[in-house]
Amino acid sequence: MHAETSRTFRAKVPAATRPAWCAPGAVVPGGTAGTRDGGPYTTEPVDYDAVLLLGFGGPEGQDHVIPFLRNVTGGRGIPEERLEEVAHHYRHFGGVSPINEQNRALRAALQDELQRRGYELPVYWGNRNWMPYLDEALRAAYDDGHRRILTIATSAYSSYSSCRQYREDLADAVEATGLDGAVEIDKVREFFDHPGFVTPFVEGIRAGIAELAERGITDLEHDVEVLFSTHSIPNADADRSGAPEDGFGPGGAYLAQHLAVAEQIMALLGIPSSWQLVFQSRSGPPQVPWLEPDINDAMTQLPARGRKAVLIVPLGFVSDHMEVLWDLDTEAMATAETLGLVAVRTATPGHHPAFVAGLVDLVEERLTGMPPEQRPHVTALGPAYDVCRAGCCENTRRGFRPALAGMAP
């Protein structure tokens, strides 16, 4: 791929205006022979010839901040003054989000692990909202001769913003590059309960407990509350997350997956601390209900319950980025200090060796056609589907737009 410094800033590719390309007789747009029939799992080995790491993207300088935020909020009519309010978070850190550097390191680690296992698969990296853009990465892979591409999205859970929107952007990128029918693109399953994703959180909590002990907090049962934090989303999006036939009910797959993983982590740790799932980074009009409680509101209840400390676990996040640095490391820490709580924020998976190995496990599943019953998962909800089901993760405000790696709509 070309050096980033040679690129000009621009908005991301426009939304797809027509249905995504679908092979004759197929029910999964743009999929390989292993996924075209729409089965939830594929046990047919697929000879992929490239891996695409698909990220969210983030600014890497003060001049990038507002153009990046325009990309993120494109089409939603967010006024400039609101963008400036959010820009303050980025400007506090020099206009640089750590997410791109995290993904550079993750890409390199994935490449090394693939090669260590004997797979000569190049790893390309493209973002939804900032350079390097997804359509440029896809074009680079095609120009290098690759036609069957397996995508890893840097998001672990089911919801519109954490899964389907990535799949829509894949469809947009294929249309923008004119590669309809020229490339086949699948996506690895959601990895919310893969041991490679879970292990770094377990280790992080253990490290956090040790740090609390150094600060005089040793009574885990009575003094410590574990706060598993994830991005809040509108209740309507949560309710529609996951496959409709799975019938998760209120909160949908998004809520169920987070709760199941948090419960399993606490079981693996075997510590007596109480815990709860909390939310952060709410945006949008106040009259629209979003998942609650907010992490700061949850903390205000803890002193009355005798809690002296919190372990903040960023369970919804693959790596550090602005909503971790600002919402947790800045705002939540300030709230804890005001309340007199000792607070420790544990690490995100980032490019932890277990996480890297886990992602390559997901690639290997598809290369070898591993049966679903053999695939590692730590909750009863897994393993997640290879092919997203029809009607999953609907966004009621935008409707069903063309998307790859799943059945239409």
pLDDT value of position 14: 64
- Look up residue 397 and give its amino acid: R
Q: How confident is the model at residue 12 (pLDDT cuts 50, 70, 90)?
A: low
Q: Average pLDDT, whole number, for the chain? A: 95
User: How large is the average pLDDT for residues 276-287?
Assistant: 93
Q: How confident is the model at residue 6 (pLDDT cuts 50, 70, 90)?
A: very low
pLDDT value of position 80: 84
Q: Which long-range contacts (CB under 8 A, 24 or more apart) does 85-91 make?
A: 89/322, 89/325, 89/326, 89/330, 90/59, 90/65, 90/322, 91/62, 91/65
User: What CATH class does 4-191+352-374 carry?
Assistant: alpha beta
| Residue 162 reports pLDDT greater than 90 | yes
Q: Token match 């901040």: residue?
A: 65
User: How large is the average pLDDT for residues 326-341?
Assistant: 98
Which comes out higher in pLDDT, residue 252 or 398? 252
333 close to 343: Cβ distance less than 8 angstroms: yes
pLDDT digits (tens, 9 = 90+) for 369-383: 999 999 999 999 999
| Fold agreement (4-191+352-374, 195-345) | yes
| Residue 50 reports pLDDT greater than 80 | yes
Which sequence spans correspond to the domains of the chain?
A: 4-191+352-374, 195-345
32 close to 46: Cβ distance less than 8 angstroms: yes
Q: How confident is the model at residue 9 (pLDDT cuts 50, 70, 90)?
A: low
pLDDT digits (tens, 9 = 90+) for 55-105: 999 999 999 999 999 999 886 778 888 899 899 999 999 999 999 999 999
Which of 105, 26, 92 lies closest to 65, judged by CA? 92
pLDDT value of position 3: 38
Q: How confident is the model at residue 7 (pLDDT cuts 50, 70, 90)?
A: very low
Please give the CATH number for the structural domain made up of 195-345.
Answer: 3.40.50.1400
| Residue 124 reports pLDDT greater than 90 | yes
User: How large is the average pLDDT for residues 280-305?
Assistant: 95
User: How large is the average pLDDT for residues 229-245?
Assistant: 97
User: How large is the average pLDDT for residues 337-344?
Assistant: 98
